[in-house]
Amino acid sequence: MAGLRRMGRAALGCVAAAWTLVGCAYNPATGQKQFTMIGRNAEIRLGAEAAPGFRDEMGGLVPDAAVQAYVADLTRRLAAQTEGDYPTLPWETSLVNSADVNAFAIPGGKLFITRGLVEKMTNEAQLAGVMGHEVGHVTGRHTAEQISTAMLIQGGAVAAAIIVDQSDDPSIRRVGRVAVPALAIGGQLVMLKFGRDDELEADRLGVRYMSRIGYDPKGLRQVMELFDRMAGSDRPPSFLSTHPDPGARIAQIDGMLRGEYAHTQGSAQFRLNETEFRQNVLARLNALPPAPKAKTASRDPALPATWCGVCAAARYEELTGRSVDPRDAVAALAAAEAPGRPIHAWTLARAHGHE
């Protein structure tokens, strides 16, 4: 129980830090106030530390400098259309040499897209849509928001568990046996809902950014149609595990094309660029040896302790009572932690001094 009390103090400290250290800030991309417990500099640092590991684990960069530059230039043009100080983030795009079908973003402007996904595209607007969506995850600060929300949820669950455990009132103990697990389960449901909302918001931001540089937003819809078809296959793409419900996303894009972005349809100012994409991307990729098949990844963009050395070191110390060099922490944690065991979300704040 001493360990539970220590966890409770850390969790409660993070809940307090949520309101006293960071709190709510205005996000110029979404136009809304947003609760986060992680600042811009911390996001940049986390992304810079994690990006090399993701690249290595996903087969390295596609060995064609021209295609890499093509994708990176497209992303830079999208990022230049973002709001506030987001254009000054150290944006970096990695086209990784993996047959997997996926794209994702980690904090600080680090974007990843697999060769397997690019090879399924037929025009440049589709690429702009996917990369615009990932830029939207960064400007929406979805990772920071998710971590912050998880910290509050877990902090509340742990605090409730301690109150129940220390109470002498039988009625509190009786209710607590039901209420505390329900709080934890409810928190997981809330997190899932937030994830779906994040995907829809990233689509809205992606359409905004791609249309600002002259791409037809229909390209993003075409990608969603691709994923909708693949969702029913025996091996749905990894993209769907972190980017759910393509049907709902298609419906939202259709509404946008009928409304705010109706002027982009049938206009020569908003292009798909099929020929350019075939010549500059697909032809060059087809000339390369096939991409390696996807391997089981140890890093999950949604679980910071699988890719953030400082986060993993704090989690390792929490589990074992021993310290570890952050450079070795991810591997050490993988060996120490039972597969599938939930990561304590508040570990990230503790690792960065927000106790």
Average pLDDT of the residues in 47-72 = 93
> How does residue 24 score in pLDDT terms, banded at 50, 70 and 90?
confident
Residues 158 and 27 in one domain: yes
Residues 263 and 311 in one domain: no
Residues 72 and 43 in one domain: yes
pLDDT of the residue at 245: 74
Residues 114 and 161 in one domain: yes
Count of structural domains within the chain? 2
pLDDT of the residue at 184: 46
Average pLDDT of the residues in 247-269 = 96
CA separation for the pair 37, 152 (Å, rounded): 10
What percent of the chain has pLDDT above 90? 45
pLDDT of the residue at 273: 98
What residue numbers bound the domain in which 183 lies? Answer: 2-302
Answer yes or no: is pLDDT of 75 > 80: yes
Instruction: Render pLDDT for 138-155 as a digit per residue (tens, 0 to 9).
Output: 999 988 777 666 555 555
pLDDT of the residue at 14: 41
Residues 44 and 153 in one domain: yes
Listed ranges 143-152, 168-177, 209-218; the one with the highest mean pLDDT: 209-218
pLDDT of the residue at 235: 54
Domain stop point among 266, 284, 302: 302
Question: Could you tell me the end-to-end alpha-carbon distance of the chain, in angstroms, rounded to an integer?
Answer: 20
Q: Bigger pLDDT: 327 or 167?
A: 327
Residues 172 and 234 in one domain: yes
Average pLDDT of the residues in 51-65 = 93
Average pLDDT of the residues in 192-219 = 88
Residues 182 and 316 in one domain: no
Average pLDDT of the residues in 209-217 = 98
Q: Bigger pLDDT: 17 or 145?
A: 145
CA separation for the pair 318, 340 (Å, rounded): 17
Average pLDDT along the chain: 77
Domain stop point among 282, 302, 322: 302
Residue 341 CB contacts under 8 Å (≥ 6 apart), including other chains: none
Residues 226 and 284 in one domain: yes
Whole-model pTM: value is 0.75
Q: Bigger pLDDT: 133 or 353?
A: 133
Residues 217 and 322 in one domain: no
Domain stop point among 263, 280, 302: 302
Inter-axis angle of helices 218-231 and 124-139, nearest 10: 90
CA separation for the pair 147, 351 (Å, rounded): 13
User: Among residues 17, 35, 16, 12, which one has the least CA distance to residue 25?
Assistant: 35
Answer yes or no: is pLDDT of 224 > 90: yes
Residues 179 and 202 in one domain: yes
CB 95 within 8 A of CB 111: no
Listed ranges 121-135, 165-179, 217-231; the one with the highest mean pLDDT: 121-135
CA R_g for the chain = 22
Q: Bigger pLDDT: 302 or 18?
A: 302
pLDDT of the residue at 162: 45
Instruction: Render pLDDT for 307-342 as a digit per residue (tens, 0 to 9).
Output: 666 556 656 766 777 877 766 776 777 777 655 444
User: Among residues 319, 323, 310, which one has the least CA distance to residue 349?
Assistant: 310
1 is written with which tokens?
């129980």
Listed ranges 155-159, 293-297, 302-306; the one with the highest mean pLDDT: 293-297
Residues 350 and 204 in one domain: no
Answer yes or no: is pLDDT of 77 > 50: yes
Residues 261 and 318 in one domain: no
